[in-house]
Chain A
Amino acid sequence: MTPFLDMSRISKRFGGVHALRNVDLTLQTGEVHCLVGENGSGKSTLIKIISGVQAPEPGGRISIAGQDYPHLNPVRSTHCGIQVIYQDLSLFPNLTVAENIAIGQHLGGVRRVDWAAMSVIALNAMAKVGAEFDPDTKVAELPIAGRQLVAICRALAADAKLIIMDEPTASLTRHEVDALIALVSELKRAGMCIVFVSHRLDEVLEIAERVTVLRDGVKVGTFDADTIDSRKLSHLMTGHAFDYDIHPYRLAAAPVVLELQGLGRDGDYEDVDLTLRAGEILGLTGLLGSGRTELALSLFGMNPPDRGVILLDGQPVSLASNAEAIRKGIAYVPEDRLTLGLILDQSITSNITLTVLGRLAGRLGLITAGTRNGHVTQWVSRLGIKVSDPENPVKTLSGGNQQRVVLAKWMATNPRVLILDSPTVGVDISAKDGIYDIIRQLADAGVAVLLISDEIPEVLYHSHRVLVMRHGRLTLDVPSSQTSEPALRQAVNA
């Protein structure tokens, strides 16, 4: 049987840098194929070549459904049925579901808009994926998972035969990921070829039939999914082995720093009791919307509880604002580091010093460049942030380094309690490892850490104790040495 896409000896150079070197890739009709690799491994370049946005170096060969092309362009690639769903989905939030799905209708010269035809196209595409949106709803009003369905529908409406999804699960909850996986199997049965590009190795293995691994622009190999596990996969991607062990629980003697008694807030969470000791890493997991982020915000003074007591070193405190929380030694690194934690357009220096401007100020309340730079240099080296110039805007850094800047910003306040909300979303394996390292060092230095995450392995392997939250209540509180991934998964989803 002819493969849908067969490409060989694909190379791409940018200046002197080889982004891709003699890569071969074969995609079969009706196959789910995963493409994995760290940032800079050449994944995006490969996708751009398939979608025709970039041309490969001469000498490569691309064949689609048996027909050879020296190179593609976006129009030809679309014409051959290749559709890319980027991580940002490329939807138009201000337009209706129907318009987004049938956007192809809008292209071309001046024409009357045929709303009825668009509606039919949209409803047909939605029927294929079992979506039941009102086609006249604005996309902005849909949740993320819904928007993703719209993006898939748009690809289907454009007669896709190959859909490439870039990090499709990054912002989905577990339930939604399951639904997506079911949908992908459905599409596969209908003869569609699906390419997943993902960091989340568990999911990759759950969904894919074959996995292609890229490293530094070279193809490491294509593997059948059932011959490989996530440990081996991360080894192939990075060239390093990452083995995580469960941390022993040995902190019963340390003093309690933070204690919650019967904390509750209408509509968010109820009856929350917990203790957090110095040097302890406490993992908190639960579905999106289970109340975990709301609880974290309450501890940071941004979402005042209606009932209950917060004790800090045994003293009841009221945290009326985040400024007060910072003053009392509580730091919070938000879930969406890009929008909440950093001012992306400002320099690394300004971001790191933002929380401690008061302390750095000398006489007359002025901050000298020397004090500022000294402070920044110290944190840059302590956290191993890779920067060429601290005056560059934060947005020039990679995801992992951005996360470290956020950490530096809060660590600079010398917190006693550090709340980390999903600290590794969107960073790749090596960078993740660096962040886990930092968290461990902080705990060893006596900081009490509350680690909130969707990813069960993350809380299991990187905290001493795990809490599970469901529907606003803590349903499980267990030392990580006494539980397992399946047990936690059960507790979260039950």
Chain B
Amino acid sequence: MPDSLKAPSVKAALARFRRSHEFWLLAVILVLCAGLGAANPQFLTMQNLFDLLTSYAFVGILALGLLVVLIAGGIDISFTATASVAQYVALVIANAYGANWFSLFAMAIGTGVALGAVNALFVQKLRIPSIIVSVATLNIFYGLLIFVTGGKYIYSLPDWFATGIFWFEFDWGPTSSYGVNLQILILGIGFLVTWLLLNRTNIGRQVYAMGGNPDAAQRLGFHTFRLNMLVYCYMGAMAGAASLVQAQLAQSVAPTVLVGKELDVVAAVVLGGASLAGGVGTVLGTFLGLALLAVLQNGLILLGVSSYWSPLFVGLVILISVSVTAWSQRERRARRVRA
């Protein structure tokens, strides 16, 4: 019996992981965490972990949506505008007519899905490159929002929403307590659902296949229109969910502050190994990309690095972590050629 007919060994899987982008990213993050933990004991605390998850939930949830779009071979940068519209619509209606958690999320996600479908229609039906479509829709969604609302902030939110949720509360020291809040809950659900979608459903695998070789996907009879529709609507749904997470954290709805943050999200996803060319990217990688960005920003303040210097360090660490992967892959190729 040839080797391959044996059950795939844990060893082989580990060896594959060791070669992956995620492995090197994880290594960089662990080195960074060890260094930061040694420099400031506050870094490796539960409290800090919860704070980080809470502050980066918005970027993280959007990153998951973008990951799916990138894997499918498209790109969408209109998500900040989609999120702004979704949070405005949902909370204005909630303020006017009342709502509960379920209906609020249904409204925000529904708005996001509708706007995502607009993107998908243009990309698929008219075959316009997705980057151009989403640059246009970013401006259209945002422009309409500003026109209709006059850019007014909303400060009074429903009490239950402003209070948020707080599960599994435990006290941390004499002054503060921690628990699973809305941000962490939605981030967790987002990761779980996206992972299930991409790895445990045939639809997710079709998304990978379509991103890897669109022509072949068509030849084999994939419904590429339906797939793209799903992908862009998923991005919209994630934008809707993320928008409420952000509004709850900021305790306000500000139509002008989200647009302009696209790059943070793109950076997290691409740093996590997703390819702008499509077909490549993992949920784990996205988590690590997000983690690297979060740990960096957080760590630099904890280390007392001057704000004037921090962009330099952020840039350097991103460059180093990407270089480590590229270098390890080049070495591997070189070894293969020599062998």
| A106 CB contact (under 8 Å) in B12, B206, B212 | B206
A92 touches B213 (CB 8 A): yes
20 residue pairs bridging A and B, Cβ less than 8 Å apart: A91-B216, A92-B212, A92-B279, A94-B280, A103-B220, A106-B205, A106-B209, A107-B222, A110-B202, A111-B201, A112-B201, A112-B202, A113-B202, A113-B204, A127-B5, A132-B2, A133-B4, A136-B8, A136-B13, A267-B337
Answer whether residue A374 sits at the interface, using C-beta atoms and an 8 A cutoff.
Answer: no
Answer whether residue B156 sits at the interface, using C-beta atoms and an 8 A cutoff.
Answer: no
Residues of B within 8 A of A (CB): 2-5, 8, 12-13, 16, 199-206, 208-209, 211-213, 215-217, 219-222, 279-280, 337-338
State in angstroms the CA–CA spacing of A136 and B12 once bound together: 9
A91 touches B213 (CB 8 A): yes
State in angstroms the CA–CA spacing of A88 and B214 once bound together: 12
- The B interface is mostly helix, strand or loop, or mixed, namely helix
Answer whether residue A475 sits at the interface, using C-beta atoms and an 8 A cutoff.
Answer: no
**Residues in A neighbouring B2, C-beta threshold 8 A:** 127, 132
Answer whether residue A38 sits at the interface, using C-beta atoms and an 8 A cutoff.
Answer: no
Cβ-closest chain B residue relative to A114:
B202
CB 8 Å contact bits of A265-282 with B (1 = contact, 0 = none): 001000000000000000
| B199 CB contact (under 8 Å) in A75, A108, A113 | A113
B219 touches A90 (CB 8 A): yes
State in angstroms the CA–CA spacing of A113 and B206 once bound together: 11
Residues of A within 8 A of B (CB): 74-75, 86, 88, 90-95, 99, 103, 105-108, 110-113, 119, 123, 126-127, 132-136, 267
**Residues in B neighbouring A94, C-beta threshold 8 A:** 208-209, 211-212, 279-280
A132 touches B205 (CB 8 A): no
Q: How many A-B residue pairs have CB under 8 A?
A: 83
| A112 CB contact (under 8 Å) in B8, B200, B211, B222 | B200
Cβ-closest chain B residue relative to A289:
B337
Cβ-closest chain A residue relative to B15:
A134
| Known A-B contacts A111-B202, A113-B202; A93 and B12 likewise in contact (beta carbons under 8 Å) | no
Q: Among B4, B202, B338, which residue has the most Cβ atoms of chain A within 10 A? A: B4
State in angstroms the CA–CA spacing of A126 and B212 once bound together: 22
State in angstroms the CA–CA spacing of A135 and B5 once bound together: 9
| Known A-B contacts A123-B4, A132-B4; A108 and B213 likewise in contact (beta carbons under 8 Å) | no
State in angstroms the CA–CA spacing of A111 and B219 once bound together: 21
State in angstroms the CA–CA spacing of A133 and B2 once bound together: 9
Cβ-closest chain B residue relative to A126:
B4
Q: Known pairs A112-B202, A113-B200. 11 more at Cβ < 8 A?
A: A74-B221, A86-B219, A92-B209, A94-B208, A95-B212, A106-B202, A107-B220, A110-B202, A112-B200, A132-B4, A134-B3
**Residues in B neighbouring A132, C-beta threshold 8 A:** 2-4
| A90 CB contact (under 8 Å) in B3, B8, B199, B213 | B213
